[in-house]
Structure 1
Amino acid sequence: MNKIFNKTKWKKITATVLIFQLLHMFLLSSFFQTHHVQAQTDITVVSDELKSAVLMDAMTGQILYAKNADAALPPASMSKMMTEYLLLESVANGQLAWEQTITISKYASDMIGSGQQLAEGRQYTVKDVYRQLAIYSGNDASIALAEAIAGTEEQFVNMMNSKAKELGLSDQTYFANSTGLNNSELREYSALAPNVPNVPGETLLTANDAALLARNLIVDFPEVLETTSITEANVVESDPTSLKMVNWNWMLEGWKEYNNNFTEFAYEGLDGLKTGHTDEAGYCFTGTAERDGMRLISVVMGAGSEPERFRETKKLLDYGFNNFEKKTIVKAKSTLEQLTEVEIKKGVETKVPVVTETSITLLVGKQFDEATDVTIEAVALPEDIVAPIETGQKVGTVTVKYTSPSGEIVETVNLIAEEEVEKAGWFRLFLRAIKNFFVDIFEGVKNLF
């Protein structure tokens, strides 16, 4: 009896030890997997001297790299991306026309900082003033456009902050003027700008919000890149004798054609977007480049010098293009093994085959393993799906979860009916009800034994 007891006891002890060993191995494995993801997020891509940085996939908004990305910092002229957005929106909705002329106010023409090429009282086309803003980052152009759109810069600032909320920018982001200059400096011009000093605070933007603003700008108005990619141009497009302006963006691919100081910074596929500099902000840059159908958006804030902001941007973009690739996880109009059909009520057929409405494409790491990094869940709509059913009608959803180096990415698309299903007549439904009644009785009886 004791032998049996001891043998049983020994088996229990051995099993307990094995369980603890397996648990220990599992915890170690989980730690290293978590540590691996964290290390991917915390890898050193940009200099420690940068105040913040972000790398975003323009197609999905997926963040590929972030450093201090939620810190609200002065963005300098990067805030002009919002001025550009509101202008392009005004042209799109017919409020302004490209060939319409606007008269430059004394406040705009006397504005400090970049620009200073628009003369007080002179008329310019909206397009010429826009080009002066997008190519040369003109503060005078930014104010002239703000006044043309909203009447005063103060009213335009209200539009900027309203649009920021509409586009989903965080509450940390705030616009105090149309230029990105410090309001404390603008108050020295209060005789010329009686409205702007009434706007409290200073312009602040997070790197995440700068990237999101840039994404909205180039997705909603892709034509902006036609202008931001111009290396140099005349202030008045139709007058080759007018003043020349040179783009502050040294990374434009177009600079490769020139033998100048910018050639070494020229980056393949880069066609925008917005530089910025003040003493408080340091050197900032929101860039965007496209290669092989993949467009990235980079943001650097608080660089110590003009060349540094471009060198740090190159590091970010190189990291993105070298380590990530586009991958279609779910194809459009495809049948998924997770859910091939859904049940319907009151139809000629009791089920309908389903397919995905659109595709799901993600930017994934080059070491991507679909078997371990992705989960796909397909479900029918929670409510009853009742005939008649039309082809293409939504009947469910597909959710893809991807464990990326920067965190979990979740994308959802609709499941739709692949074919139509007519509503059944009352007699068919009556016979089906009788059949189901006897099937239920049979199953109930079968379960008794």
Structure 2
Amino acid sequence: MLKKYAVILLTIIILITNSAEAAKKGKRTKKTVKRPIETSLIVDSETGKILHAVNADTKIYPASLAKVMTVYLIFEKLQSGQLSLDQKFTVSKYASKAMPSKLYLKEGEQITVRNAILGLVVKSANDVSRTVAENIAGSGKRFSRLMTIRARQLGMKNTTFTNPSGWHDPRQKTTAIDLAKLSIAIKRDFPQYYAEFFHRNSFTYKGRAVRGHNKVSERYPGADGLKTGFTTPAGCNLITSATRKGRSLIGIVTGQRSAAIRDKKMVTLLDKHFGVKPTKFTKKKTTKKKHRKTKKRTRSNKRNIKT
């Protein structure tokens, strides 16, 4: 009988010990999960003057903000005459297998340079990123080297690219300062192409409407682009370019917990440094109110953005 009780007691002790160890491991695991680094930066795009900076020199993951450099290299090829907007890129099997966000290109499909740029700017399509890289440089690896070389030439000293899409790689890092330099450069070096593509929030591809999700670019008064980005390690990132009251600013916000928080922070910073009243985004009116008079409907549409 004593042996039986001893065995039961020993079993209970082992179970309690294992549970305690598991709990400790769980706590250790939670402690090792790193939150994305939050950064923010506002720069006068004409003078380069920094108006606001938080962790602006801290290395971060760019996520899809890396695609701005991918587009920069396409613009270079267009300007030099090595590419034309109607020229076609061929999609490889590898490119077609890219994870979303994507245009769902198929192996062997051809896409024009024009639609490829729109796919990157509007949809942030990873299959398009791979397609561009392979058709220009032969592989994503070689293309990412070109991205890093150009980054150094633009003064982006703390940036390394390892793929053309911004797909997470611990080695692929940048800073808010470097992203501002890239943003200023793409507007300065290719004004005609920038104006043609970066203001777009939608386009039609093979009869299908493709919409973006850059609400700040679409709704903020004076905004003319640039780019959103997200991965879990990077958080929600955003670059915005806008001009108001004759002044042009570039805003960088990264590492946010949600797109809504990111957008709100960007708008607040831009409003402050433009010296304007707070801008508020309101939800678009639903189709239930279609029976209202045209005059009233027009007025409600104008209230989508209040300044």
More strand by share: 1
In the alignment, what sits opposite 2:291? Answer: none
2:154 equivalent to 1:167: yes
Write the letter of the residue equivalent to 1:128.
N
In the alignment, what sits opposite 1:423? Answer: none
2:183 equivalent to 1:214: yes
Alignment of 1:251-262 (within 5 A): 251-253=216-218
Write the letter of the residue equivalent to 2:267.
K
Structure 1 residue 104, shift from structure 2 partner: 0.5
2:249 equivalent to 1:296: yes
Deviations 1:377-426 (A, max 9, x none): xxxxxxxxxxxxxxxxxxxxxxxxxxxxxxxxxxxxxxxxxxxxxxxxxx
Write the letter of the residue equivalent to 1:207.
A
Distance 2:40 2:163 in 1: 23
Distance 1:60 1:118 in 2: 41
In the alignment, what sits opposite 2:23? Answer: none
Write the letter of the residue equivalent to 2:145.
N
Alignment of 1:364-443 (within 5 A): none
Unaligned runs of 5+ in 1: 1-48, 184-200, 254-265, 324-449
Tell me if the contact between 1:109 and 1:116 (Cα under 8 Å) persists in the aligned partners.
no
Distance 1:309 1:289 in 2: 16
Structure 1 residue 50, shift from structure 2 partner: 6.6
In the alignment, what sits opposite 2:266? Answer: 313
- Match 2:198 to one of 220, 225, 228: 228
In the alignment, what sits opposite 1:107? Answer: 94
Tell me if the contact between 1:281 and 1:302 (Cα under 8 Å) persists in the aligned partners.
yes
Q: Secondary structure at the match of 1:124?
A: strand
Deviations 1:162-200 (A, max 9, x none): 101100112x211111010023xxxxxxxxxxxxxxxxx
Write the letter of the residue equivalent to 1:178.
P
Higher relative contact order (CA 8 A, sep 6+): 2
More helix by share: 2
Tell me if the contact between 1:299 and 1:313 (Cα under 8 Å) persists in the aligned partners.
yes
Tell me if the contact between 2:37 and 2:234 (Cα under 8 Å) persists in the aligned partners.
no
2:214 equivalent to 1:249: yes
Tell me if the contact between 1:53 and 1:207 (Cα under 8 Å) persists in the aligned partners.
yes
Write the letter of the residue equivalent to 1:182.
H
TM-score normalised to structure 1 length? 0.52
Tell me if the contact between 2:66 and 2:166 (Cα under 8 Å) persists in the aligned partners.
yes
TM-score normalised to structure 2 length? 0.75
Tell me if the contact between 1:56 and 1:63 (Cα under 8 Å) persists in the aligned partners.
yes
Write the letter of the residue equivalent to 1:303.
Q
Distance 2:83 2:180 in 1: 27
Distance 1:234 1:297 in 2: 28
In the alignment, what sits opposite 1:182? Answer: 168
Q: Secondary structure at the match of 1:149?
A: helix
In the alignment, what sits opposite 2:19? Answer: none
Work out the number of aligned pairs and report it: 240
In the alignment, what sits opposite 2:104? Answer: 117
2:47 equivalent to 1:82: no
Structure 1 residue 145, shift from structure 2 partner: 0.9
Q: Secondary structure at the match of 2:216?
A: coil
Unaligned runs of 5+ in 2: 1-35, 277-307
Write the letter of the residue equivalent to 1:181.
W
Runs of 4+ in 1 over 3 A off after TM superposition: none
2:236 equivalent to 1:283: yes
Q: CA RMSD in A?
A: 1.5
Deviations 1:70-125 (A, max 9, x none): 00000100011100100100111111111111111111111012114322111111
Identity %: 37
In the alignment, what sits opposite 1:261? Answer: none
Structure with greater Cα Rg: 1
- Match 2:145 to one of 158, 163, 166: 158
